[in-house]
Every structure is written in structure tokens, then in C-alpha cells.
Structure 1
Amino acid sequence: MAEGPAGDEDAGREGSLPGAPGHLLDPTFRNGSVTAIGVVGGFSLAFLSNWTFMPGRWGGSAFVAFILLALGIAFQLRALVGMLETQSLRRVRYNRLVKVFAIGIYLTAAGVLLALVAELPVVSRYLHF
């Protein structure tokens, strides 16, 4: 059985434009991704700004956490800027930007976890179990 031209296997997939080749996304489908990336990026920036202005001295793990957070936020912002371009309506480009965003999420999560671990000695003084 012969297969159709490349890209036709995507026709009718979720988020595709009706009647368009499967390699194009419906703009409303992309809008949800833009919103999600913006919200997560906003929370990431808020955490970074609150955490960096906490009193206390920074150790080596705090610097590593800061680098991870900064890199993660940079990846998230790159994904957001890319999603705002009209080229992101192409499925290949969209999928690539989703991967960039996922890398940003992983880096940010690692930075947050490391920041929490770095603050444990300070916080443990106030915990009485």
C-alpha cells in the first residue's frame, strides 16, 4: 500500500488547521502554549527575584542554583519569544520550541531544588520538631 506525501500523516491531528497540510498549527492551539510558557516563566522570574534578595551569604551551591535558574529562565524566554513568531505555526518549529521550553523547565526545577537544599541549614534553625 502506497503512503501519501510526507506531512499528510499529520492531517487531522489535534491542533492542525482544517483543510491545511498537517504541518501547520491552528493559531488558537499555539495560544495556549504561549499562555502556559508565560505563566511558568513569570513564576520562575518571581522565585528568582525573591530568592536572590533573601538575607544571608551565598555558598557554592547557591551560585550553582543561581546559574541553573538563570539558564532555565533563559530557555523559557527563548521558547516564549519563538512562540510569538509566525514561524511557530509550523509543527516542526512548534515541537522544537516545546523541547526548548521543557529544557528550561528541567533546569529551573533543578535550580529551585538546589536552592532549597542550600537554604536547609538556615531554615533548620527555625524548625523545632
Structure 2
Amino acid sequence: MALPVGYRQGVITAITVVLGFSLVFLRFWGFEAPGDWDVSSALSAIVMGISIVGQVVTLWRSLQIEDDDPAVYRKTLRWFLGSTIVLLIGVALSVLSSSQVI
């Protein structure tokens, strides 16, 4: 049984929007924002980098023909959820780091 029409397109759109945000946020926060780097800011950048790698893997999985299979699609959604949670952790760390809480 294949997925209903439109499911994959919606997920691909969501992945690209989150991936675009991740890349732009990391670019601004890592390269253009004022302030010095320390251990917490480096940790935040590493966490966001891991999230970006997860998002790219998720996008690659969602573009495969096999993703029409519901079991594979669910696994792709788990990848997306995991990479989004890691992204939120990275953004939270960057906020705490830039406000010098950590």
C-alpha cells in the first residue's frame, strides 16, 4: 500500500524549510553575530551541525522511491523529528550561550 498523494511533498517541503532555517541561523549566529567564541558556543554549533546532517539524511531518504512504503516513510519521519529536536536543543544552547547564562 502506497502513501496517499501529497504526503511526501508536504514532508519534503517541511524538511527544506527547517533545513533552510538551520543553515541561515547557523550562518548568522556562527559568523555574523558579535561576541567571542567559547566552549558553550562551540558546543551549540556542533549540536546544530549534527542536526543539519540529520536533516540532509532525512531529505535524502524522503526523495527515495522506497519512501512510498509506509514503514520507510515512518522511519523518515522519525529521522525528521529527531533532527528537529536536536536543532531545538542547539538553538536553545546558542541562546543561553549568547546571553552568557552558560
State the TM-score, normalized to the length of structure 2.
0.91
1:36 aligns with 2:14: yes
Residue of structure 2 aligned with 1:65, choices 20, 23, 44: 44
Structure 2: gaps spanning 5 or more residues: none
Match of 2:55 in 1: 76
Task: Tell me, in whole angstroms, the C-alpha distance in 2 between the residues paired with 1:71 and 1:27.
Answer: 31
Q: CA deviation at 1:26?
A: 2.8
Match of 1:116 in 2: 95
Match of 1:102 in 2: 81
Percent identity of the aligned residues? 30
Structure with higher RCO (Cα < 8 A, 6+ apart):
2
Match of 2:69 in 1: 90
Task: Tell me, in whole angstroms, the C-alpha distance in 2 between the residues paired with 1:48 and 1:107.
Answer: 14
Greater helix share, structure number: 2
Q: CA deviation at 1:55?
A: 2.9
CA RMSD, aligned part only?
Answer: 1.0
Report the structure number with the largest CA radius of gyration: 1
**Number of corresponding residues:** 99
Residue of structure 1 aligned with 2:34, choices 55, 59, 65: 55
Matched AA of 1:45 = L
Q: CA deviation at 1:56?
A: 2.2
Moved over 2 A (4+): none
